[in-house]
Amino acid sequence: MDIATGAMNTLLPKLGELVVGEYKLQKGVKGEIQELEKELRSMTAALRKVAEVPVDQLDELVRIWARDVRELSYDIEDAVDTIMLQGIRHEPTMPFSIKGFIDRTINLFQMAATNHQIHNVTKDIMDQVKMVNERRKRYKIDEVSNRPIVETIDPRLEGMYTRAAQLVGIDGPKNELAKRLLEQEGLSRKQSNIISIVGFGGLGKTTLANSLLQDLKEQFDCHFFVSISFSPDIKKIFKNILVQLDENKYGHIDESWEIKLLIDKIIEFLKNRSRCLCVIDDLWKELPWDTIKLALQDGNHGSKIIITTRNKAVAEYVGGGIYELKPLSTDNSRELFYKRIFESADDCPPDLSKVTGKILKKCGGVPLAIITTASLLANKPRCSVEWEKVNSSIRSGSENSHPMETMNTILRFSYNDLPFHLKTCLLSLSKYPEDQMIRKDVLVWSWIAEGFITPSGSSLQETGDGYFNELINRSLIQPVNRKDPFYVLGEMEVYACQLHDMVLELIIKLSAEEGFVTASLSDGDQAGASSLHQREIIRRLSLHNSSNTDASINERKLLSKVRSLYVFGHADLMMPSLSEFCVLRVLQLENCSGLDNNHLKDICKLYLLKFLRLQGLKVTELPESIGKLESLETLDIRGADDESVIMLPLSFGKLGKLVRLHAERVELPDGVSLENMKSLRELVGICPTLHAVTEIGKLGGLKALEIAIKEEPESSTGNWKELIGTCLQMCSSSLQVLVLRVPLRYLYFQNFMAHVPTGLRTYMCSGYFDEFPRWIDPSFSYLTVLSIRLLNVHVQPEHLDKLAELPSLRFLRIQVLGLSPRQEKLVIHSSPSAFPCLTDLRILCQLMFLKFEPGAMPKLGRLCLRFDARRTNEHFRTNNFDYGFENLPSLRHVVIVLNILALNWAEHTEAQDAIRKTINNHPNHPSLHFSY
């Protein structure tokens, strides 16, 4: 139902634009459109009421009505987008065919967009809107939100009463948390006594917190355990706390007690107890904590608070330490699985081992998923055939037994708590195959093209990034980090995500029920088809590694209303004819290695296309017809051969709405003009030529530029350093992001960087400077990301002082290459104005030694350093291994790269132990990873 609300939120602004925009509509036609807008706003209000009720508790008639509204809004939007496109072009549009309620709209697509035809279309739409509203009255939709919501039994209760003997893989996390809690006894009161356990739903947070409580409660004067959940009754929670603190006194609390009195009673009780162990379980949002902490404010004399949450942002808001609970290892997963079925692992028949591995892979180390699946199998015959059936049913979502429904209920808690825009974005991930790595930027761009992102004060890109981060914080998608901690061309560690199989299972089921995405799998089946009748309309089509899927779909002639097409696998084997997709907005092809111009010959007919991703192209030039995609906003052709350069067509300059071009290496042909590309903001992978530099200089709104040098081009285009310098000078007023990808054999010189724009926010360079950049100074007040490489440069204290004066710097990466004399230790001094915002520091220089003074880099959370292992051992033996890590109050993650050349294993281990001992003494217990 939230999907229908989102569809309306996309449509309504377009109707308003159609009325006030420059479309030369007659007064009567404008009035008709305004009346239509009014009716749709009324329907949207009703949809929002419906959205407040969990979808599985809605009456079937209400769900049908909401689905009709969504389909209606899609067809209206198709018509409106075409009207607006015609209003810009003032010429007849392409042939088009729509079946269903909007048959007369065909006339609009076959002739010029006149007021008379718009009137006819509007009249047809209004007739359909009235019909839908009549059903709304018959179904009494407006009364749906007043119906009581059925309470369900919390499936996490089992975690509260699981016997210790049944727990698997819990000892390590429990010991670590106990150590963190108890070792703070002698610390200053300024040290937080709160630890938040963060993790995916079903990962065992409640079980871990309760087990920790049982182990430690004897060391405290009192204790309590309360669950908050996503719809907390604060008054009931406070009563529960009082009963646990003193059942004799508060076992029969007067119902008339208000929240303030309950808080006062808790405060009074805790004042007389020096130590209390508190567990606040399943905290979903910040607001309940703001109230609960009022009662705990005076219980801080040795008291400890353990919080569990699946939302990392909530844990950060609460403050204190954060412990991210990880999935079970493969061995622990198998042990837990067997414990629920057999007396011991030895009782498992050998022929079940292989299918067990398949099942456990889908469970992904999530204890609840393992337990519920094992409980299901415990009641089935112990043979591989039966277990394979269960393994297959997990993917298809056809198993409706009680154990699987338990896991499903937990995931639905998370889904139901999402606002409508995040529900839509999450369901859109059902288009991806199992285990697919999903790039963050590609995902956000597709959300923008589909209209899933609600405009706010920020740009659509920034808002979409926020949606992505929120889904990670809620543990609904799993972040994917770059493997190389010193990755030169990327600030963010999280650049992609993956879906846990159980989450993918849920959203496939929900998406199928809503008719949101039609996914055709490699075996020709339709994802979720077992719970869905074959639909007559497909809005989003996803093809997975199948050469026979498109044939069955084409036979059903359902492609005319497809808004998004995704192909995962060899696109050349699965591609339906593009001429069938009349209203396509998104085209994403993830393997184009076999694609040729014949497959793309009809791409020019996709007039409404906004997002085009052709990953892995093996061509040297794009077709001239690309220039006819006048609605295109994103063109992504990354993943081509690293050695090849793709030539853009002369028609590229006609893409007036293009916002971003992302490629490995592309070249502009002589004669192409960019001066009409007023919307272009990101140009990534462009090869510098004299013509390209001249044209880039005309892009007054360009914000991000990545220049890719393949080889020295002096022979044909002049000196590339001079070209880039000229380019920077021409677009200095708007440029915010500058990335230079240069072969390592080329050096930079200071005069080349004389025109770096002072408004720059991100600067990254894969080439080397032969001296510390002289252009870095406090005038770069917006610079947040800086990555530089130095060759044979001795870093001086004054260099660090210059960097420390950059007021907005958040990410700093310095790599020093070459042999240089041993360098003295550099001190990062304490100063309120030094590195005030830095959160990520990466120093790749084995000869550089740092010392952090108290108060230096107060916000630094991630630190990556390279050490020479032998010299590390020497420093540690002489008590000179003092980096002052303990003076970094926000430190959470440490990555150490050890140079182990010419070392024996004993020296290597000694260096590791020395570093580990130092890091373990830090009060935050930051994570520590070694790389070599």
- CA-closest candidate to residue 775, choices 754, 803, 798: 754
Task: Tell me the CA distances in angstroms from 450 to 43, 215, 445, 561, one per residue in order.
Answer: 21, 51, 9, 14
* Vertex 869 angle, CA 866 and 875, to 5°: 100
pLDDT at residue 379 in the model: 65
pLDDT at residue 231 in the model: 66
pLDDT at residue 160 in the model: 42
- CA-closest candidate to residue 671, choices 698, 697, 653: 653
Helix 259-271 crosses helix 234-245 at what angle (to 10 degrees)?
A: 30
- CA-closest candidate to residue 474, choices 200, 79, 694, 838: 200
Residues 251-256 have a mean pLDDT of 78
pLDDT at residue 754 in the model: 66
- CA-closest candidate to residue 475, choices 661, 612, 324, 276: 324
- CA-closest candidate to residue 426, choices 50, 438, 534: 438
pLDDT at residue 112 in the model: 38
Judge contact between 94 and 109, C-beta under 8 A.
yes
Helix 501-514 crosses helix 384-396 at what angle (to 10 degrees)?
A: 60
Helix 460-473 crosses helix 420-428 at what angle (to 10 degrees)?
A: 80
Judge contact between 626 and 597, C-beta under 8 A.
no
- CA-closest candidate to residue 399, choices 522, 327, 523, 502: 502
**Which amino acid is present at 528?**
G
Task: Tell me the CA distances in angstroms from 348 to 342, 353, 354, 391, one per residue in order.
Answer: 7, 8, 11, 17
Residue 7 has pLDDT above 70, yes or no: no
549 versus 442: which is more confidently predicted?
A: 442
Q: Kindly state the tokens that stand for 111.
A: 């002739």
Helix 27-51 crosses helix 2-20 at what angle (to 10 degrees)?
A: 160
Residue 185 has pLDDT above 60, yes or no: no
CA distance 203 to 523: 31
Residues 241-261 have a mean pLDDT of 85
Give one word for 140, left, alpha or beta, with left for phi > 0 and alpha for psi -120 to 50.
Answer: left
- CA-closest candidate to residue 840, choices 817, 809, 871, 874: 809
Task: State the DSSP H helix or E strand holding residue 895, giving kind and residue range, or none if neither.
Answer: strand 893-899
Residues 134-157 have a mean pLDDT of 53
Residues 6+ apart with CB under 8 A from 158: none
pLDDT at residue 402 in the model: 45
205 versus 404: which is more confidently predicted?
A: 205
Helix (H, G, I), strand (E, B) or coil at 587: strand
Residue 28 has pLDDT above 60, yes or no: yes
């890109």: which residue's tokens? 461
774-777 LR contacts (CB < 8 Å, sep 24+): 774/750, 775/750, 776/802, 776/803, 776/806, 777/802, 777/805
Residues 178-190 have a mean pLDDT of 64
pLDDT digits (tens, 9 = 90+) for 733-749: 788 999 988 876 666 65
Torsion on CA atoms 190, 191, 193, 197, rounded to nearest 10 = 130
- Per-residue pLDDT band at 552 (split at 50, 70, 90): low
896 versus 224: which is more confidently predicted?
A: 224
CA distance 646 to 620: 5
- Per-residue pLDDT band at 96 (split at 50, 70, 90): very low
379 versus 80: which is more confidently predicted?
A: 80
pLDDT at residue 497 in the model: 92
- Per-residue pLDDT band at 777 (split at 50, 70, 90): confident
> Which letter does DSSP use for residue 478 in this model?
E
CA distance 653 to 718: 24
Per-position DSSP letters for 224-285, written without gaps between them: EEEEEESS--HHHHHHHHHHHH-HHHHTT--TT--HHHHHHHHHHHHHT-S-EEEEEEEE--
CA distance 489 to 442: 17
Residue 153 has pLDDT above 50, yes or no: no
> Which letter does DSSP use for residue 805 in this model?
T
CA distance 47 to 55: 12
- CA-closest candidate to residue 842, choices 866, 878, 826: 866
Query: 0.85 exceeded by the pTM?
Result: no
Decide the pairing of beta strands 478-481 and 494-498. Answer: antiparallel
CA distance 596 to 601: 9
- Per-residue pLDDT band at 392 (split at 50, 70, 90): confident
Question: In terms of DSSP H, where are the helices of 677-835?
Answer: 690-696, 714-717, 720-730, 797-804
Residues 634-644 have a mean pLDDT of 83
* Beta bridge partner(s), residue 185: none
pLDDT at residue 168 in the model: 78
pLDDT at residue 807 in the model: 93
Residues 6+ apart with CB under 8 A from 798: none
Sign of the C-alpha dihedral, residues 137, 141, 146, 149? positive
**Which amino acid is present at 926?**
P
Helix 384-396 crosses helix 367-378 at what angle (to 10 degrees)?
A: 130
Sign of the C-alpha dihedral, residues 872, 876, 882, 886? positive
**396: how many CB neighbours lie within 10 A of its CB?**
17
Question: In terms of DSSP H, where are the helices of 140-233?
Answer: 157-160, 171-182, 205-216
- Per-residue pLDDT band at 657 (split at 50, 70, 90): very high
451 versus 405: which is more confidently predicted?
A: 451
- Per-residue pLDDT band at 21 (split at 50, 70, 90): low
Judge contact between 322 and 312, C-beta under 8 A.
yes
> What b/e sequence results for 433-452 when a residue is b if at least 16 CB atoms lie within 10 Å of its CB, and e otherwise?
beebebbbbbbbbbbbbbbb
29 versus 659: which is more confidently predicted?
A: 659
> Which letter does DSSP use for residue 1 in this model?
-
Helix (H, G, I), strand (E, B) or coil at 470: helix
Upper half-sphere CA count for residue 349 (Cβ side, 13 Å): 9
Find the range with the poorest average confidence among 74-78, 667-671, 834-838.
Answer: 74-78
pLDDT at residue 418 in the model: 81
Residues 836-861 have a mean pLDDT of 86
pLDDT digits (tens, 9 = 90+) for 410-469: 677 678 778 888 999 999 999 998 878 899 999 999 999 999 998 877 889 999 999 999
The phi and psi torsions of 124 (rounded to 5 degrees) equal: -60, -45
Distance from first CA to last CA of the chain, Å, rounded? 51
pLDDT at residue 109 in the model: 40
Whole-angstrom Cα Rg for the chain: 31
**Which amino acid is present at 804?**
A
Burial class from Cβ neighbours inside 10 Å (0-12, 13-18, 19+) for residue 534 reads exposed
């999450």: which residue's tokens? 426
Helix (H, G, I), strand (E, B) or coil at 808: coil
Question: In terms of DSSP H, where are the helices of 757-904?
Answer: 797-804, 869-877
- Per-residue pLDDT band at 896 (split at 50, 70, 90): confident
> Which letter does DSSP use for residue 621 in this model?
B
pLDDT at residue 634 in the model: 97
407 versus 739: which is more confidently predicted?
A: 739
**Average pLDDT for the chain:** 78
Judge contact between 780 and 754, C-beta under 8 A.
no
pLDDT digits (tens, 9 = 90+) for 111-138: 334 566 676 777 777 777 777 777 666 6
Judge contact between 923 and 320, C-beta under 8 A.
no
pLDDT digits (tens, 9 = 90+) for 810-826: 999 998 887 555 556 78
Find the range with the poorest average confidence among 147-156, 390-399, 704-713.
Answer: 147-156
